[in-house]
Amino acid sequence: ERDLFAELGRRMSGVLSGQGLPPSLKPIATYLQRAREIAPKAPLVAYYARLHALQLALDLRPKMGKADMSVLLDLMDAMEEEKKGVDLSQADEAAAQVENFAQDLFARADEADRSGVSDMRVGRAFYAASVVIDVCRQFGELPTDLLEKHKYARWRFVEISKAAKEGRPPAPPPDIGSDPLFDFGPADLDNLKSGGGDGGGCGGCGGGFC
């Protein structure tokens, strides 16, 4: 019986970290990965990132086979266990905490970028900021400034990643909100993520960003 519990614990831990997900649940992997990075410093933000992933997973049920459903059930069980270790007594302030975390992460990445440090660590920090902004959607419609920062962060991640792959420095960052400059589509982001651009998270939370 002890071995069964140990196996269940390992399985739940793997699901929460975004590992071993079937293709049908690939869209939630980035939220689980970012939550794993964030958890040591911001457990409440990490909890809501995983909750956002679970909500997305539930929406994906029509595309899931029976085998994939077991992974979803594991995720639901893991979330129930995680809830026991998170202080939700101030749940009404959760939206502000998650947004403040996203704003701070974006600001740190943008400050580094505008000071001339535009490497992949900064690019990944931009991407991580966009992911946390996505997490804010579960609390309601995003305000205009967050929408602009979300779009800019993803665009800047793509620009920095492309420059790194081509062995050149990226162009200097433009003003946020300069929409005509954001010339990229979902395929650009997907291609970079599948090529490993998403693998490093925000450069390692604790590396000056998270």
Q: How far apart are CA 138 and CA 134, in angstroms?
A: 8
Contacts 24+ apart (CB under 8 A), 1-7: none
Grade residue 201 by pLDDT with cuts at 50, 70 and 90: low
Amino acid in the structure at residue 5: F
Cβ atoms of 109 and 153 closer than 8 Å: yes
Amino acid in the structure at residue 125: A
In the predicted model, what is the mean pLDDT of the chain? 80
Say what the pLDDT of residue 4 is.
39
pLDDT of 32 higher than 80: yes
Q: How far apart are CA 75 and CA 52, in angstroms?
A: 12
Instruction: Determine the average pLDDT of the residues in 180-201.
Output: 49
Strand, helix or coil for residue 168 = coil
